[in-house]
């Protein structure tokens, strides 16, 4: 393959580039060819060193596309269409991601709160139960009431034992809810950035 | 060598060559090649990127009846080399840390 043939194939493959970029790339290789020729290399050696013209062109086109895309992301002014698109995406994300996640988080938080309350409720229920049957015992006497008092004490005791565990579970549930919020926020802001 | 790492290194290598004085494509490749692998297709986007970022300037001059593009380093390019040197110092500290198996 001669350099002219190489250059022709190279130029054809660069057709995707704007005119100025294409001329710049062609000038670059033409200059290199001239310098290598002056340095004593043969045309065949030079062309072999340049490699496949299509591959060389594809590399240049890929770099140009990447840098153009990065520049347009950085400098593209917002248009009304962009704002409307972003608003539409935000609404859809809120409806199909945000709302269900809020519902899940609310339910988890409610479960956590209920768990915390249940331990104390068991204690209070046990105490109330004891109080009632203590009064009954005082008024009417009887072993049955003593048994009931025992049950109340056991309930209060179980509640007291479970409160720390429930406290821990509630804490982790609320931490989990917080993490879900943060993750959702990241997903939503990531999607918005893409637009 | 990792492709992204090499890409960053090549940018600075080109700037280092230009720090000695203005140069052109073929000579830049010849000066860098003994130290790190570089091809014509690799140099082109590097020069373009450096020019766009303001690290180098380019101008054409006639040579042997044809035009040759010469590149010269700018203040920004000089600062980029200094930043790279600082990065390497930090890299050396991390390298020592890794070499010692994560022990301080």
How many other C-beta atoms are found inside a 10 Å radius of the C-beta of residue B29?
A: 20
Tokens of A87: 């608003």
- The verdict on a CB contact (< 8 Å) between B68 and A34 is yes
Task: Report d(CA A38, CA A40) in Å as an integer.
Answer: 5
Overall average pLDDT of the B3-26 stretch: 90
**Chain B closest CA to A126's CA: distance in Å?**
56
> Higher confidence at residue B104 or residue B54?
B54
> Higher confidence at residue A56 or residue A176?
A56
Between A12-21, A153-162, B18-27, B48-57, the lowest mean confidence (pLDDT) is in A153-162
Contacts 24+ apart (CB under 8 A), A90-95: A90/A188, A90/A192, A93/A187, A93/A188, A93/A191, A94/A188
With the C-alpha atoms ordered A84, A86, A92, A95, is the resulting torsion angle positive or negative?
negative
Task: Report d(CA B77, CA B74) in Å as an integer.
Answer: 5
pLDDT in tens, B29-83: 999 999 998 989 899 999 999 999 999 999 999 988 888 999 999 999 999 999 9
Report the chain B residue with the minimal C-alpha distance to residue A39.
B26
On whether the CB atoms of residues A191 and A89 are closer than 8 A, the answer is yes
Q: How far is CA A115 from the centre of its chain?
A: 30
**Chain A closest CA to B40's CA: distance in Å?**
7
**Chain A closest CA to B89's CA: distance in Å?**
29
How many CB pairs (< 8 A) connect A and B?
50
Kind of pairing, strands B66-73 and B56-63?
antiparallel
- The verdict on a CB contact (< 8 Å) between A28 and B25 is yes
Residue A123 has pLDDT above 50, yes or no: yes
Task: Report d(CA B14, CA B78) in Å as an integer.
Answer: 11
3-state class (DSSP) for residue B35: coil
pLDDT for position A71: 67
pLDDT for position A25: 95
Q: Does A193 touch chain B (CB under 8 A)?
A: no
On whether the CB atoms of residues B84 and B9 are closer than 8 A, the answer is no
Q: Does A35 touch chain B (CB under 8 A)?
A: yes
On whether the CB atoms of residues A120 and A163 are closer than 8 A, the answer is yes
- The verdict on a CB contact (< 8 Å) between A34 and B48 is no
Between A37-46, A159-168, A186-195, the lowest mean confidence (pLDDT) is in A186-195
Report the chain B residue with the minimal C-alpha distance to residue A59.
B41
Residue A193 has pLDDT above 60, yes or no: no
Look at residues A166, A181, A169, A168 and name the one whose alpha carbon lies nearest to residue A105: A181
Task: Report d(CA B72, CA B11) in Å as an integer.
Answer: 14
pLDDT in tens, A30-65: 999 999 999 999 999 999 999 999 999 999 998 888
Interacting residues of B14 by C-beta distance below 8 A, sequence separation 6+: B28, B32, B43, B46, B47, B50, B56, B71
Residue A95 has pLDDT above 90, yes or no: no
> Higher confidence at residue A75 or residue B70?
B70
DSSP state of A64: H
Q: How confident is the model at residue B8 (pLDDT cuts 50, 70, 90)?
A: confident
Q: How confident is the model at residue A74 (pLDDT cuts 50, 70, 90)?
A: low
On whether the CB atoms of residues B81 and B19 are closer than 8 A, the answer is yes
Task: Report d(CA A4, CA A21) in Å as an integer.
Answer: 19
Overall average pLDDT of the B14-24 stretch: 95
Residue A150 has pLDDT above 90, yes or no: no
On whether the CB atoms of residues A174 and A113 are closer than 8 A, the answer is no
Look at residues A155, A79, A98 and name the one whose alpha carbon lies nearest to residue A122: A155
- The string of DSSP letters for A123-164 reads HHHHHHHHHHHHHHHHHH--HHHHHHHHHHHHHHHHHHHHHH
Instruction: Choose among B25, B41, B52: nearest Cβ to A51.
Output: B41
Task: Report d(CA B91, CA B98) in Å as an integer.
Answer: 10
pLDDT for position A2: 92
B88-B18-B37-A45 Cα dihedral, nearest 10 degrees: 180
pLDDT for position A8: 95
Residue A181 has pLDDT above 90, yes or no: no
Residue A195 has pLDDT above 70, yes or no: no
């Amino acid at each position: 393959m001669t350099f002219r043939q190489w250059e022709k194939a190279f130029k054809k493959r660069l057709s995707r580039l704007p005119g100025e970029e294409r001329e710049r790339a062609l000038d670059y290789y033409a200059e290199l060819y001239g310098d290598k020729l002056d340095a004593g290399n043969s045309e065949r050696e030079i062309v072999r060193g340049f490699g496949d013209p299509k591959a060389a062109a594809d590399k240049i086109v890929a770099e140009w596309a990447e840098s153009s895309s990065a520049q347009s992301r950085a400098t593209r002014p917002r248009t009304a269409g962009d704002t409307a698109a972003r608003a539409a995406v935000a609404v859809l994300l809120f409806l199909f991601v945000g709302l269900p996640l809020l519902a899940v988080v609310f339910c988890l938080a409610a479960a956590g709160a209920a768990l915390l309350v249940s331990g104390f409720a068991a204690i209070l229920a046990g105490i109330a139960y004891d109080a009632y049957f203590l009064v009954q015992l005082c008024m009417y006497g009887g072993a049955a009431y003593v048994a009931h008092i025992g049950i109340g004490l056991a309930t209060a005791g179980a509640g007291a034992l479970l409160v720390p565990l429930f406290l821990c579970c509630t804490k982790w549930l609320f931490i989990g809810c917080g993490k879900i919020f943060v993750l959702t926020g990241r997903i939503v802001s990531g999607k918005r950035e893409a637009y | 060598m990792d492709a992204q790492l090499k890409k960053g290194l090549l940018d600075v290598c080109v700037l280092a060559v230009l720090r000695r004085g203005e140069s052109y494509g073929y000579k830049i490749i010849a000066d860098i090649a003994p130290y790190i692998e570089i091809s014509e297709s690799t140099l082109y986007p590097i020069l373009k990127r450096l020019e766009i970022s303001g690290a180098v300037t380019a101008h054409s001059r006639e040579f042997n009846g044809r035009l040759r593009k010469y590149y010269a380093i700018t203040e920004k390019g000089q600062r980029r080399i200094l930043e790279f040197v600082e990065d390497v110092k930090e890299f050396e500290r991390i390298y020592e840390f890794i070499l010692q198996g994560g022990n301080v």
